[in-house]
Structure 1
Amino acid sequence: MAMTDSPRWLELSLEADAELAEAISEALFPYVEGGVALEQTHRHPLGGEIASRWEDERAEGPIIVRAYLPDDETLAERKRKVEEVLAYLNMVRPTPQPTYRIVAQSDWADAWKASFKPLRIGRRILIRPSWINDVPSDHGADRDLVITLDPGMAFGTGLHPTTQLCAAAMEDYVQAGMRVLDVGSGSGILSILAAKLGAREVVGVDTDDEAVRAGRENVLANGVGDRVTIAHGSHEVAHGVYDLVVVNILAGVIIRMLAEGLASRAPRFIFSGILDAQASDVARAAEAAGLSITEQRAMNDWIGLVCTRRSKDR
C-alpha cells in the first residue's frame, strides 16, 4: 500500500437506475477490492440522501454504485480499466461519470462504525457490532442468535436487503447437521449464521482477500471456528456435495455459476443479490440448470430465490 501506517483507498461512486446499476456493478467487479456496493437512496425533503437500506419501505430514487480501489502500485491500471469499461457501457446507454475521493482506511472505518448499530433481522437474529457491548434486550433475547461482527471493508453487515433475504430464508431451511456452502461469504455473516442455526460444517468462499481476512476474524470472534472454514476462491475450491448452498452475489455472477455447474453442488439453493429487474433472468438460468423455483421473497427492489434440484436431476 502507498501508506504503511494507514492504508488508503480511492472510492468511486456514481448514481444510476436499477438496471444500469447492475450492469455497472458487473463491469466494475473484476477491478475493485471488497466487491461493489449498491446503495438504494431516497431524497430527503430538506436535501441530501438517506440510505433506504435502513428502512422497510420500497426505495425511491437512484441507486448509488460504490466501489474501492487500493491506493497502491495497481491503482493506475485499475482506474484505467474502470474508465474503459464505463466508456464501453456508455456506448450502449448513457452512463454517468464516477466521482472519486481518497479515503484512509482508518478514517473510513471510524465514520462507518458510528452509524452501525445493533440490528435485528429475520425472526431472532441479532447482529452486534464487535465494538458495542450493550444490545437491545427485547424480542425474547434469551432466544437470540447473536452474531458479533466487524466486517471492515468486506460486504455483509446485515443492513443490506440482500443479506436480510438470505438470513431470513436460512432460518427456515438450515437444519441441524447440515453441510452448508456460502458463496461470496464477505464478512462471514451468513457462514456464522449457518453454524449458529445448527450446521455441522460450513465452508465460506470469497475471491477478495479483505473479505477472507475479515470473514476468518469474525468466525473466530463468534466461537464457530470448529465448524466454519473461510477459503479464498469461488465455489469450485469447496470440494464435495452440500445440503444447502447460499449465494449472495450479483445476478450476472449467479447466472454464470449456474452455467458452470453450480446446480450439482446441493439439492437446495438460496440465491440473493438480485435486483427485481434481473429476477426472471436468474430464474431462467436456474431452471435451465435443473433447478425449480420453490419460493421467491422480496425486500425493497431486491429478490431472493429458493430453489431445489428437480428429482430427476438428483
Structure 2
Amino acid sequence: MNECFELCSMPEAVRRMNVWGAARRPFVFVVNYARDAAFVELAEDVNPEVCRYDFRGVSNVAAGASCVRTQDICWQPHPESEAEYAKAFEVVHRNLMAGNSFLANLTCKVPVDTNLSLEEIFSRAHAPYRLWVKDRFVCFSPEIFVRIHDGCISTYPMKGTIDATLPDARRRLFEDKKEAAEHATIVDLLRNDLSQHATQVTVRRYRYFDRLTTHRGALWQTSSEIEGRLPDDYRSRLGDILLDMLPAGSITGAPKPKTMDIIAEAEGYDRGFYTGVAGWFDGDDMDSCVLIRFVEQEGGRLYFKAGGGITFQSDMHSEYEEMKQKIYVPIY
C-alpha cells in the first residue's frame, strides 16, 4: 500500500488504465485540470491515511466512519471584490464578443476561514462524490463526469444554478435565456466528445433538475444526460477514452482549446486538481466525477475554488453573485 499521493505523467496514467482495464483489475484515478499529472493506482493499493474516496458508496473508508463535531460551523469566505472580479470577467467577455469563444467557465480562488479541517469536510459532507487527499484538498462534487456500464457510456453536464428559496425558482432558472444557451452549448460539446469513441450518441434527458442542500440553504441545478455505445474492446482503451474527453467541457467551454487559453489569461492562477476528474473502475464498469466544490490547502490557508459559465449574454454582477453562492459546504 502506497504511503504517499504519488503522481505520474498522463501517458503513464493512460497506459495503466488501459492495461488494468483490459485485465479487469479495479483501480482509482485522479487527473488534474491541465492533464499533465495524475494519480492512478490499483484500488487495493490506495492508502486511506493518504487518500480517501467515496464515489456513490464505493469507498475505502469504513461504513459509518465520521467526524463528530458539536460546535457550530464557522465558515467565512473572503471573495475578491466585485471590481477585481470585473477585470477577469472583462477578459472573457471581450473574447466572447469577438467570437473567439461561445462559452467560457471563469473561476476564482477564494480564501476561507473555517473551524473545519479538510478531513472533517470529507467525513461530514453530503455529496455523491467525495475525495480527500491529505494536506492537499477535499472535494465534494455533485457532478457526474462519465459512467460506463455494459458498454454504454454516459455523461451528465451540469449547468445552471439558482437559490431554491426564490419565488418560482425552478421556472426562473428554466426560462433564463442565458442559462438555456449555456446549457445547450455544453450539451453539444459533450455530444461531440462522446462521439470520438462512441456510436449512437443521443441526449436521453435534457435540463433536468437536482436539488442540493447546503449549510446555508438549498439550490436548484440543471443537468442533461447524454449516452452512446462503445466498441467491444473499450476496457483496453479506458485511458484513451478518458484522455480524449479531458478537460471536462462543463468547466472549460467551447471551442475547448481556445477557451482554455482565454481562461488562463483571465484567471491568473493554477487550477491544479480543481476541475479535473476522479473516479474508479471496478473490473467491469467505470464511474467518475468532475472535481468541483473544492477546498484546497495552501501555505497554511484554505481556499475554495468556484466559478461559472460566461456567455455574451452574461451580466457581470449576476455572475459574481452566482460565484459567491457556490462557496458552501453540504453539511447539515
Q: TM-score, normalised by structure 2?
A: 0.27
Between 1 and 2, higher relative CO (CA 8 Å, sep ≥ 6) is seen in 2
- Going by fraction, where is helix more abundant, 1 or 2? 1
